[in-house]
């Protein structure tokens, strides 16, 4: 262990002693800003720095758009305030306007100091001691309109608000056979409109970056009419507030409503979501993003030198990155310029690969081509769910079916996993059969944990009967094992010599080869919401500690990341062994905190973290040791973590990953079709599609064997373990934090990243 630590870079070497950090939130408020402020403050204190709030700068410390700061006199006054407190490190949480202003402030800094000296407001020594101003930005904006980052703080929470409303509207629209036209925020950016349309399966979406082609009115009405004739009882149209046509003329929700009424005579209503999108509690994703970025911002400030440009910390895929602030601002402005010049393809490209992927996937799924326009592949592709249900599975199946049909395949649905497969529960599934599936929880196809190994003869027979040429398996650890068993049986059965791909879907997030699984985000939100409520239940009572048990089998992902999102004091998991001394020190730590005026404590325990230190044991230990200081309550969250409607992230992730899987199947079918039949028996034709850091990667299941602990059903290496010290720091523990994986300064890339196959 000591050897390994030598090669790592620990931030004990990065001291904040003698440094002062100012943190401010500026511009429009966004959910998650408070979590970002909390992380900056606690991390700053942890490294020994002094941390200051800049008030009004809904967040806890107030968020404001300041006109005075736009003037030179305003910035001179601001510089004076900072020098008086020796603050030379600023962490700015806001949108592109706030960050551009902060960068201008930095560029003017030495000139402002000179002016202050000339005016006699500060002396030469103060100017010398504060000669360098370092700025790190975090993007807090619900619009996700800042280039260079996949997700800005607040975007995911805004999507939660939108989807909650859309789900509620869908039930009333269905009852009355209505069309609803919804306006969502996004004056210059269509991200919220586009992703919510993708997440709810909207019939039509209008965004500023990609105005509809001329004649769109007729096309839209035709599409709505077709959807009704196929039996749909409702239509949803989503309009970004900045939507325009090809001539740059605004398209409003009322324009769209009038069009639908005059053209089709449908009962049509308008809903404008407005500031609801900015409010409410932050989602689990936003809390984790803000916490990770807050810590990253402090590290970036500690490492900054005179030559380091002002940077923004952001997320690319699942990887923290640092990007020069002005490069991002320039690219964001270039998007607007491209839109003004009506160069819409360029505007979409500049928005980044995440936006482009969303748009392409929406186009693929929303408009059914006429049969005469479809390529005739004459291939049959089967889709099945395996393992326990996970929210987002249905969105993945819908996406797979529709993309498969668009690619010219005949799609088959297998009910009840491998059990249904060997029993012959297989039928063709059409475009309209999966309408409205995106927002449904659980598994509509039905899913079982049965493995195929004992039923290979019967499964091979069903593949023959239905002439199945490829398999898409969506599920958890059993799905992974199932695909391994089928690929291993290829030597004996020619029927299994077909392309097969597995897409991970499990709340436990325990699949090797993927950082994330469909369903895990929904489960995290269930845990976070419940922890919030549980903590609230104790408001007004004396000091109380809650012991909460989460699911996950032997995988501590839900407990650890849920703990980070909910602000837990301790989290017990299997991957990080603990003994009675650790439990004792945690109790003592919590007791000390409770004596300082903190009223509530939160302790999470993964269900299989230790066979002897059970949830009951930990509850009794804390109850006994906390006598006189706090009392205890325990709660086992159970299957509520598997239920509920999928979160926007899971709907979206399921939709995009399944579309990618089907496109891979199409390529493999083409490659392996020889002499009138499909024959695929190489390693790279039985794959798992997973998210690895920044890319979606297809990995042969055989190659993932060595990365798997089969006894405990977890990957041998898990990326999220690096987040655990972060949780401990935010809970005020002394710990070692490995910064070798922190973001390095990169440049904004304008060339397309190569596709990883």
Closest CA to 275 of 187, 180, 161, 170: 161
Question: 749 pLDDT band (50/70/90 cuts)?
Answer: low
* Range(s) of the domain holding residue 220: 155-278
Task: Write the CB contacts of 438 (distance below 8 Å, at least 6 apart in sequence).
Answer: 199, 200, 201, 394, 395, 398, 646, 651, 655
Do residue 223 and residue 287 come from a single domain? no
Q: Which range, of 305-319, 347-361, 448-462, 687-701, averages the lowest pLDDT?
A: 305-319
Is it the case that residue 229 has pLDDT exceeding 70?
yes
Same domain, 416 and 510: yes
218 marked among binding-site residues: no
Query: Which one of 143, 145, 286, 521 is the catalytic residue?
Result: 143
Measured distance CA(235)–CA(373) in Å, rounded: 25
The domain spanning residue 428 has which CATH number? Answer: 3.40.50.450
Q: How confident is the model at residue 755 (pLDDT cuts 50, 70, 90)?
A: very low
Q: Is the pLDDT of residue 395 over 50?
A: yes
The verdict on residue 404 lying in a domain is yes
pLDDT at 753 over 70: no
Q: What percent of the chain has pLDDT over 90?
A: 71
What per-residue confidence (pLDDT) applies to 2?
Answer: 33
pLDDT at 736: 63
Query: Among 89-98, 108-117, 284-293, 652-661, which stretch is predicted with the lowest mean pLDDT?
Result: 89-98
The per-residue pLDDT for range 162-175, each reduced to its tens digit, is 999 999 988 887 77
pLDDT at 288 over 70: yes
Query: Is 746 labelled a binding residue?
Result: no
Phi, psi of 318 (to 5 degrees): -115, 20
User: Is 433 marked active-site?
Assistant: no
pLDDT at 278: 86
- Is 712 one of the annotated binding-site residues? no
- Say if residue 141 carries a ligand binding annotation: yes
Binned at pLDDT 50, 70 and 90, residue 58 comes out as: very low
Each residue of 500-547: pLDDT tens digit? Answer: 999 999 999 999 999 999 999 999 999 999 999 998 887 777 789 999
Per DSSP (E only), the strands in 505-584 are 544-550, 570-572
pLDDT score at 60: 44
Please indicate if the annotation marks 633 as binding a ligand: yes
739 falls in which pLDDT band (50, 70, 90)? low
Let me know if residue 200 belongs to a domain: yes
Residue 374 has pLDDT above 50, yes or no: yes
Q: Residues 221, 268: contact at Cβ < 8 Å? A: no
For residues 269 and 258, give the distance between their C-alpha atoms in angstroms, rounded to a whole number.
Answer: 10
What residues contact residue 562 under an 8 Å CB cut-off, 6+ apart?
284, 524, 527, 528, 531, 550, 568, 604
Ligand-binding annotation for 187, yes or no, is yes
Confidence of residue 186 (pLDDT cuts 50, 70, 90): confident
Q: Are residues 514 and 660 in the same domain?
A: yes
Residues 407 and 329 in one domain: no
For residues 461-477, average pLDDT = 97
Tens digit of each residue's pLDDT (9 = 90 or more) over 43-54: 999 999 999 998
Q: Considering only 71-80, 215-224, 278-287, 592-601, which range has the smallest mean pLDDT?
A: 592-601
pLDDT of residue 359: 94
- Whether residues 259 and 166 share a domain: the answer is yes
Q: Is 145 a member of any domain? A: yes
Mean of the per-residue pLDDT values for the chain? Answer: 90
User: Using CA atoms, how far apart are residues 687 and 698, in angstroms rounded to an integer?
Assistant: 6
Percentage with pLDDT > 70 across the chain: 94
CA–CA separation, 298 vs 707, rounded Å? 33
Q: Are residues 68 and 204 in the same domain?
A: no
Domains of the chain: total: 4
Ordered strands of the 89-94 beta sheet: 50-54, 20-25, 89-94, 134-139, 311-316, 319-324
514, 483 contact by CB (below 8 A): no
pLDDT digits (tens, 9 = 90+) for 312-368: 998 887 788 899 998 998 998 999 999 999 999 999 999 988 899 999 999 988 877
Domain membership of residue 419 (yes or no) is yes
The most confident of 139-153, 349-363, 654-668, by mean pLDDT: 654-668
| 98 annotated to bind ligand | yes
Considering the domain architecture, whether residues 488 and 560 belong to the same structural domain is answered as: no
Q: In this model, does residue 27 exceed pLDDT 80?
A: no
Task: Show the beta-strand stretches assigned E in 134-193.
Answer: 134-139, 179-184
241 is in an annotated binding site: yes
The whole-angstrom separation of Cα 354 and Cα 156 is 14
Per-residue pLDDT tens digits for 255-281: 999 999 999 999 999 999 988 888 889
pLDDT at 12: 55
pLDDT given for residue 535 in this prediction = 87
Is residue 740 domain-resident?
no
Please report the pLDDT score of residue 232 as a whole number.
83
612 assigned ligand-binding residue: no
Please check whether residues 209 and 139 belong to one and the same domain. Answer: no
Task: Identify the band that residue 661 occupies on the pLDDT scale cut at 50, 70 and 90.
Answer: very high
Tens of pLDDT, residues 417-446: 999 999 999 999 999 899 889 999 999 999
Geometric angle at alpha carbon 40, from 35 and 44, rounded to 5°: 150
pLDDT at residue 455 is higher than 80: yes
The residue count for the chain: 757
Whether residue 160 is contained in a domain is answered as: yes
pLDDT number for residue 11: 53
Both 432 and 503 in one domain: the answer is yes
Is residue 128 a known part of a binding site? no
Rounded to 10°, the helix 284-303/155-176 angle is 160
Query: Which pLDDT does position 367 carry in this prediction?
Result: 75
Residue 197 has pLDDT above 60, yes or no: yes
Q: What pLDDT does residue 743 have?
A: 67
The answer on 265 and 414 residing in a single domain is no
CA 660, CA 757: separation in Å to the nearest integer? 10
What's the pLDDT at 599?
Answer: 81
Is 642 annotated in some ligand binding site?
A: yes
687 in a known ligand binding site: no
Residue 61 labeled ligand binder: no
DSSP secondary structure letter of residue 14: S
Residue 360 lies in a domain: no
Could you tell me the CATH number of the domain that includes residue 204?
Answer: 3.40.50.460
pTM: 0.92
Instruction: Please tell me whether residues 451 and 542 are part of one structural domain.
Output: no
- Burial (CB count <10 Å: 0-12, 13-18, 19+), residue 333: middle
Paired residues of 692 in beta bridges: 695
**pLDDT (0 to 100) of residue 129:** 93
In a domain, 356, yes or no: no
Identify whether residues 686 and 637 lie together within a single domain: no
Is position 94 annotated in a ligand binding site? no
Domain boundary among 263, 278, 293: 278
Last residue of a domain, one of 689, 707, 725: 707
Three-state SS for 390? coil
């Amino acid at each position: 262990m000591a050897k390994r630590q030598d090669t790592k870079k620990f931030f004990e070497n990065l001291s904040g002693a003698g440094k002062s950090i100012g943190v401010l939130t500026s511009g429009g408020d966004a959910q998650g800003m408070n979590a970002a402020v909390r992380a900056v403050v606690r991390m700053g204190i942890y490294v020994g720095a002094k941390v200051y709030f800049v008030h009004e700068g809904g967040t806890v410390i107030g968020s404001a758009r300041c006109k005075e700061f736009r003037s030179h006199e305003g910035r001179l006054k601001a510089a004076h305030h900072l020098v008086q407190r020796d603050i030379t490190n600023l962490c700015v949480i806001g949108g592109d306007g706030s960050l551009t202003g902060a960068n201008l402030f930095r560029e003017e800094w030495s000139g402002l100091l000179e002016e202050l000296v000339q005016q006699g407001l500060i002396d030469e020594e103060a100017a010398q001691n504060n000669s360098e101003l370092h700025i790190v930005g975090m993007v807090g904006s619900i619009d996700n309109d800042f280039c260079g980052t996949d997700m800005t703080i607040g975007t995911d929470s805004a999507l939660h608000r939108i989807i909650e409303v859309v789900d509620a509207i869908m039930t009333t629209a269905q009852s009355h056979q209505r069309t609803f036209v919804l306006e969502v925020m996004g004056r210059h950016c269509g991200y919220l409109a586009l992703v919510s349309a993708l997440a709810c399966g909207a019939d039509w979406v209008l965004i500023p970056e990609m105005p509809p082609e001329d004649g769109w009115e007729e096309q839209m009405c035709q599409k709505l009419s077709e959807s009704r004739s196929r039996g749909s009882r409702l239509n949803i149209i989503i309009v970004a507030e900045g939507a325009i046509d090809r001539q740059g003329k605004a398209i409003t929700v009322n324009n769209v409503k009038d069009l639908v009424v005059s053209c089709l005579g449908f009962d049509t209503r308008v809903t404008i979501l407005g500031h609801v999108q900015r409010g409410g509690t932050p989602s689990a994703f936003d809390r984790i993003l803000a916490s990770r970025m807050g810590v990253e911002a402090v590290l970036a400030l500690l490492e900054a030198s005179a030559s380091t440009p002002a940077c923004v910390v952001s997320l690319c895929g699942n990887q923290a990155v640092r990007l020069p602030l002005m490069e991002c601002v320039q690219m964001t402005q270039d998007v607007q310029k491209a839109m003004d010049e009506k160069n819409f393809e360029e505007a979409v490209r500049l928005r980044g690969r995440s936006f482009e992927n969303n748009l392409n996937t929406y186009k693929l799924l929303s408009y059914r081509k006429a049969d005469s326009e479809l390529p005739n592949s004459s291939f049959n592709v089967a889709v099945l769910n395996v393992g326990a249900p996970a929210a987002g599975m249905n969105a993945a199946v819908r996406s797979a079916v529709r993309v498969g049909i668009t690619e010219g395949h005949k799609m088959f649905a297998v009910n009840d996993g491998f059990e249904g497969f060997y029993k012959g529960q297989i039928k063709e599934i059409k475009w309209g059969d999966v309408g409205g599936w995106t927002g449904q929880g659980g598994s509509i196809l039905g899913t079982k944990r049965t493995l195929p190994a004992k039923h290979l003869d019967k499964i091979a027979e069903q593949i023959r009967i239905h002439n199945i040429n490829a398999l898409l398996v969506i599920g958890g650890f059993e799905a992974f094992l199932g695909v391994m068993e089928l690929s291993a049986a290829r030597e004996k059965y020619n029927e299994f010599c077909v392309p097969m791909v597995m897409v991970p879907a499990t709340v436990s997030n325990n699949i090797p080869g993927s950082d994330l699984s469909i369903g895990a985000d929904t489960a995290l939100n269930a845990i976070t919401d419940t922890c919030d409520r549980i903590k609230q239940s104790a408001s007004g009572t004396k000091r109380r500690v809650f012991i909460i048990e989460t699911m996950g089998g032997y995988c501590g992902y839900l407990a650890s990341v849920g703990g980070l999102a909910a602000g837990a004091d301790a989290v017990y998991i299997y991957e990080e062994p603990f003994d009675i001394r650790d439990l004792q020190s945690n109790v003592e730590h919590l007791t000390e905190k409770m004596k300082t005026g903190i009223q509530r404590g939160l302790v999470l325990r993964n269900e299989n973290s230790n066979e002897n230190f059970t949830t009951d044991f930990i509850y009794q230990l804390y109850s006994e040791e906390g006598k006189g200081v706090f009392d205890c309550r325990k709660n086992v969250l159970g299957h509520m973590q598997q239920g509920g409607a999928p979160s926007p992230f899971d709907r979206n992730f399921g939709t995009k990953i399944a579309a990618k899987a089907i496109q891979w199947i199409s390529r493999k079918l083409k490659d392996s079709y020889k002499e009138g039949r499909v024959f695929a028996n190489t390693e790279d034709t039985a794959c798992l599609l997973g998210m690895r850091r920044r890319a979606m990667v297809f990995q042969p299941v055989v190659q993932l064997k060595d990365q798997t602990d089969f006894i405990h059903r977890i990957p041998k290496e898990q990326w999220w373990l690096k987040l655990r010290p972060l949780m401990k720091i935010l809970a005020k523990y002394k710990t070692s934090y490995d910064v070798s994986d922190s973001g390095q300064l990169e440049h904004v890339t304008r060339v397309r990243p190569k596709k990883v196959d």
